[in-house]
Amino acid sequence: MRNDERRHAPEQTMRALVQRSHRGPEDLVLTTGHPRPAPGPGEYLVRVGAAGVNFADTMQTRGTYGGGPHPPYTAGFEAAGEITAVGAGVERPLPVGARVVGTGAGAFAQYMTMPAAGVLPVPAGWSAAQALGMVLNWATALAALRPLGQVEAGETVLVHAAAGGVGQAAVRLARHYGARVVATASPAKHAAVAALGAEEVLDRRRPDLAAEIERRTGGADLVLESVGRDTFEASLSAARPVTGRVVVFGAASGDAAISTHDLVFTHPVQVKGLHIGALAEAAPALYRSLLTELEALIADGVYPPGSPTVHPLAEGPEVLRSLEKGRTSGKHALDPWR
């Protein structure tokens, strides 16, 4: 085989969604013949069975995600699939053929690499799509509730964007740990959120949101804030003074600001930031404990198999546009082989 033929051999290329600029999902393009990656030190090469779609993906398409990649790049960072190769230096590697879920660069493709230290086995009997969310949505929700939020039975937890992937996980987990849940979501999604166990579901766009939460609950002990500008003031106002905690892990509607004056005189609450990737890097022992707890929750039936809406890879740009505009509910995923 000539060199040029080998370079374009099918086994060395793949289908992938490539982001070509910071102009948003409209410049996310399906590419065939894209070079297949090779695992570096400490990495697995994974044949992607399903790739998770997250709000961070929409932010990356517009260059607003902190530390995000620069175009052109293969989009996506969450996937589940089968290990096909093991890089050098992986300690106690899983065997080729093992099914795993994890994160890494370039998930919206038929193959991607993942840091071996951050993967989890796909639970027995679960499909790749059902395992999505384990190391992102559920780990984020668990971190926000437990080590950062310090939730206790009998407390009131306010969950914004409760119909999304992290929001649904947070409602389930908060109820499991004995908390009362008040949630916000668009009106069309209220029934789905209530079915997860939320006692009250409100429209986050109502102008008296904080006052209504105070009227119904007397104040929230813990607020999970992922919306940003549209709800941040209401989150601070809804949290109980002094003992209330606000865990911030997103800004879907844009950035919000708080001053030292606010924290001392207007909103004397505890504000904590959360990025699950930064937590995994800065506090690996804590991150592993979260994953261990998630495995126990799966074994106990608290964490059921996911039920994402799965789309062909080519529909990725439209899925991201819908997610960006708040038109989706629950978890969405892409199948790179469709």
- With a pLDDT cut of 70, the percent of the chain lying above it is 97
State the architecture of 137-278 in CATH terms.
Answer: Alpha-Beta Complex (3.90)
Task: Name the CATH topology of 3-132+306-335.
Answer: Quinone Oxidoreductase; Chain A, domain 1 (3.90.180)
Given a contact cutoff of 8 angstroms between Cβ atoms, the answer to whether 79 and 106 are in contact is: no
**Average pLDDT over every residue of 117-146:** 96
Question: In the prediction, which pLDDT does 1 show?
Answer: 37
Question: In the prediction, which pLDDT does 49 show?
Answer: 98
pTM for this prediction? 0.90
**287's tokens:** 């991150």
**239's tokens:** 């949290």
Residue 67 in this model has a pLDDT that exceeds 90: no
Pairwise pLDDT comparison (140 vs 210), residue with the higher score: 140
**Average pLDDT over every residue of 186-209:** 95
Question: In the prediction, which pLDDT does 326 show?
Answer: 87
Given pLDDT bands bounded at 50, 70 and 90, which one contains residue 66?
confident
Residue 4 in this model has a pLDDT that exceeds 50: no
Given pLDDT bands bounded at 50, 70 and 90, which one contains residue 55?
very high
CA 304 to chain centre: 17
pLDDT tens per residue, range 88-98: 999 999 999 99
Rounded to the nearest integer, the mean pLDDT of the chain is 94
Helix/strand/coil for 151: coil
Given pLDDT bands bounded at 50, 70 and 90, which one contains residue 323?
very high
Write down the domain spans for the chain.
3-132+306-335, 137-278
Nearest residue to 135 via CA among 104, 91, 161:
104
Residue 328 in this model has a pLDDT that exceeds 70: yes
HSE-CB of 53 using CA atoms within 13 angstroms: 30
Question: In the prediction, which pLDDT does 89 show?
Answer: 96
Residue 274 in this model has a pLDDT that exceeds 60: yes
Residue 100 in this model has a pLDDT that exceeds 50: yes
Question: In the prediction, which pLDDT does 7 show?
Answer: 36
DSSP calls for 78-131:
EEEEEEEEE-TT-SSPPPTT-EEEEE-S--SBSEEEEEGGG-EEPPTT--HHHH
Fold matches, 3-132+306-335 and 137-278? yes
Backbone region of residue 110 per phi and psi (left: phi > 0; alpha: psi in -120 to 50; beta: other values): alpha
Residue 153 in this model has a pLDDT that exceeds 70: yes
Residue 8 in this model has a pLDDT that exceeds 80: no
Residue 10 in this model has a pLDDT that exceeds 80: no
Question: In the prediction, which pLDDT does 6 show?
Answer: 36
**Average pLDDT over every residue of 146-153:** 98
Residue 2 in this model has a pLDDT that exceeds 60: no
**Average pLDDT over every residue of 276-283:** 93
